[in-house]
């Protein structure tokens, strides 16, 4: 059943995001072509009667300006829309009328929020990839350069693996260095996962706490989000400052180690902190959904 929840949520979210992805990529490609083409030079080189050359050049510049503005709007809208879809799917799917149907399903209450969080995470990853692609497309001037860019992206993992193998073979990369690199990647993955899921569950906890009020549920949800954000920042800064001011303990150990070991400790430390926040937000969300939910 949990898999069916994810499948249903995926279809709903990707259906809402596909037009945004398509428009962002299309606008980025058009901007790349106009920025890298010789259109302006060709217009200036035209020998037309009167001021037609200047008029065409001004028109081309104006069109390019509009395309640039549209590109910025679509680029920002990509991430704004991702946030909106994440919030709406939880708000409408669990805290509104649709929640009556969702809570009749033979699954744990916590699974309802978790399924939405998992899909939201993948949607955020896709949005991030589309955002990077939108930036990269600005360098494309024609279909050939676009195909070359896509080919480079696809072949990047293979190129990295090949470079590592050659480095190990010729002694340029030591096995110990490779081990630390692999650990860095794993620690970074855990850090990103805990950070993104923590952000998603902070939104969920804020909305769950906001719906406890009788009136102005949206306003209270926003207020609770601000409160939780401030609380998280305060705890994080307090933890960092406490470690930094300690004359003995973790900070002394980190400062005495080399940069490689210190980086491991910092990545693990921030990951643990994110996991603590994630756990707290998830417990708040699951408790309210299971014990204090007041559907409209």
Give the pLDDT confidence of 256-295 residue by residue, as tens digits. 556 677 777 788 888 899 999 999 999 999 898 888 776 6
Of 203, 181, 195, which is closest to residue 263 (Cα–Cα)?
Answer: 181
d(C-alpha 260, C-alpha 224), whole Å: 39
Give the pLDDT confidence of 126-184 residue by residue, as tens digits. 999 898 888 888 777 666 666 666 677 777 667 767 676 666 555 566 666 777 788 88
R_g over Cα of the chain: 25
d(C-alpha 96, C-alpha 22), whole Å: 30
Instruction: Locate all alpha helices (DSSP H) within 91-108, ordered by sequence.
Output: 98-102
Whole-prediction pTM: 0.80
Place of tokens 């978790």: 114
On average, the pLDDT of the chain sits at 79
What's residue 166's pLDDT?
63
CB atoms within 10 A of CB 134: 22
């Amino acid at each position: 059943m949990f898999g069916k929840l994810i499948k249903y949520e995926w279809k709903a979210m990707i259906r809402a995001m596909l037009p945004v992805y398509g428009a962002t990529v299309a606008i980025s490609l058009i901007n790349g072509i106009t920025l890298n083409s010789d259109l302006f030079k060709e217009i200036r080189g035209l020998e037309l009667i009167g001021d037609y050359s200047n008029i065409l050049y001004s028109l081309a510049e104006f069109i390019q300006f509009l395309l640039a503005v549209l590109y910025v709007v679509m680029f920002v809208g990509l991430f704004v829309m991702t946030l909106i879809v994440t919030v709406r799917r939880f708000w409408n799917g669990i805290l509104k009328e649709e929640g009556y149907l969702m809570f009749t399903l033979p699954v744990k209450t916590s699974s309802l929020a978790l399924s939405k969080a998992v899909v939201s995470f993948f949607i955020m990853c896709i949005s991030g990839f589309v955002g990077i692609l939108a930036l990269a497309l600005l360098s494309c001037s024609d279909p050939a350069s676009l195909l070359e860019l896509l080919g480079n992206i696809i072949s990047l993992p293979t190129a990295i693996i090949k470079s590592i193998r050659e480095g190990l073979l010729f002694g340029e990369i030591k096995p110990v260095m490779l081990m630390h690199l692999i650990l860095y990647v794993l620690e970074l993955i855990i850090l990103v996962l805990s950070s993104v899921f923590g952000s998603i569950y902070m939104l969920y906890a804020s909305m769950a706490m906001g719906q406890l009020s009788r009136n102005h549920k949206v306003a209270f949800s926003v207020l609770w989000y601000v409160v939780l954000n401030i609380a998280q920042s305060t705890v994080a800064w307090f933890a960092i400052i406490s470690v930094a001011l300690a004359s003995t303990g973790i900070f002394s150990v980190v400062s005495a180690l080399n940069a490689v070991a210190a980086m491991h400790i910092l990545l693990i430390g921030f990951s643990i902190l994110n996991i603590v926040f994630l756990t707290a937000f998830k417990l708040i969300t699951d408790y309210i959904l299971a014990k204090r939910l007041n559907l409209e």
